[in-house]
Amino acid sequence: MTDTLRDRALADGLALHARLDAFCDEAWGRLRGTIEQQGELADGLDDAQVVSYELVFASAELHAMRSMLDYAIACGGSAAPLEETMALAFAADAMVKVRHRIDKVRHAVGIDSARYCAVFEADDLLTFCQRWLAPAHLADAGRRILDAGNGGRSLLPEDKQIIAASFARVAEEVVAPLAERIHREDLTIPDEILREIADMGCFALSIPERFGGTAPDGGHDNLAMVVVTEELSRGSLAAAGSPLTRPEIMARALLAGGDAEQQARWLPGIAQGQPLCAISVTEPDCGSDVAAVRLKATKTDGGWLLNGAKTWCTFAGKAELLLVLARTSTDADAGHRGLSLFLLEKPATDEHAFEFRQPHGGVLSGKAIPTLGYRGMHSFTLFFDNVFVPAENLVGGPRSEGKGFYLTMAGFAGGRLQTAARACGLMRAAYNAAARYAGERKVFGKRLADYQLTLAKLGLLGASLRACQEMTYHVARLMDEGQGQMEASLVKLYACRAAEYLTREALQIHGGMGYSEETAVSRYFVDARVLSIFEGAEETLALKVVAREKLATAQAR
């Protein structure tokens, strides 16, 4: 194919993306119109969950498709055959997936067959998908990736590439040698890893320079956070990529609502990993429904008493500072307006169970929850029995009482973006393992990498990985500009789902060895499964965050 035809293919992809994006906007508008005919928009969303869920993921597919096409064009179009080959295959695959999702729900929003066929049965779309999903093209993409030894060039700024190289060394030399033992023996993250990432400034990434961090005083450096998280997660999701999330959420909450004294007291230490942090929000009966929190905070002399239970408090044993969301209002109808945030100090422990007794008699106890994967961090169920928190540890002081929900949400947006970066790092580790194994393993007299099916898989998987990376970098830049809150949820949804599939296929390429704990790919597989659950479960993010935003901005039809 000539360079002119290749460049035209990318232009065709952009044109098709614009058409599908407009169609998806139309579907959101039709859904909004349907809901409003039956009553208030907020009240009717629960009756449109299935449609909303499919449309959210269609929007995510289109976001990824645009990110990948933009990446290939920035690499030079036809002058970058590897990147272009991946982008065209990915774009075609995204179109097929969007078509499938829309087809499932189009009748529910009143899209008739003529309108649907005008878009999805159009000759140019069918020809594009047929050409770039052809087995020969997919195999060519896989072969190019294997030959290059990577999934396309990095377009990160030079300073971020230097950061990536520094943390790649940490992942390979410090984290990776310990990762399997941590997983198999269910250990708490060793101090040598925590010291190394603290010394490298990992806990300082979300904290402004004036408090001893590395973020600009006027904002955030989300792109640096994403790059560091991705590299460390490549070494181990739980033991290296995830310890950064907790100080990220806590720092954002303190910066959004903490008073000057609290910021000066806590942020410099958090930047150095002293104290280590954990976030205590989820409860046994409310899951991702943060507004339903019931842990009670009652005023007492000099502070507050906490009573109730929390669960899935990751790193609660090792942490010396917990950010706790509790209900301070006695009004039963206050909902999310009755919540406040507290900073609770406690001793650190490596044990899987602990009991901390305060001098006045309060007891905080915790027990680690046995999990399928994601070992090293350990998620705890916590029980609060008259646990005392001094008045000065109410985040924001009396003026912020009842504002804990909003401060928590301010922290979670960054955590969701960082989770997408964690997914990218895990995918890179799994993909590299699959590519190495395919090049070494012989079946029926040939290397796995010499079979068309293996190459086709590696082609699409490599393109998916690159698309997730480019989406994540794009959203990081948006958030650095003060935007991208909804997009952070969207990229978290997409990258975490992609990580599940990629690690599954990486394990499959390993065959029986993939199911054995003798290979790291089994760890990647079980670790990936948690990504769509924490930092906002997939369904909650899709329906309560992204769908609401999409419907609020859609034009009713």
290-293: long-range pairs with CB below 8 Å, 24+: 290/325, 290/336, 290/339, 290/405, 290/408, 290/409, 291/335, 291/336, 291/339, 291/405, 293/325, 293/326, 293/327, 293/339
Whether the CB-CB separation of 355 and 288 falls below 8 Å is answered with no
Q: Which of 174, 525, 150, 207 is nearest to 372 (CA)?
A: 525
Neighbours of 53 (CB within 10 A): 18
Question: HSE (CB half, 13 Å, CA atoms) of 523?
Answer: 27
DSSP-derived 3-state class of residue 284: coil
For the question of residue 40 being annotated catalytic, the response is no
The one-letter amino acid code at 65 reads: M
DSSP-derived 3-state class of residue 308: strand
Neighbours of 172 (CB within 10 A): 13
Neighbours of 86 (CB within 10 A): 29
User: Tokens standing for 548?
Assistant: 């609401």
Q: What is the DSSP track for 61-109? A: HHHHHHHHHHHHHHHTGGG-HHHHHHHHHHHHHHHHHHHHHHHHHGGGG
Active-site residue, from 248, 401, 535, 538? 535
The residue assigned the tokens 């499932």 is 104
Element (H, E) at 230: helix 222-235
Catalytic positions: 535
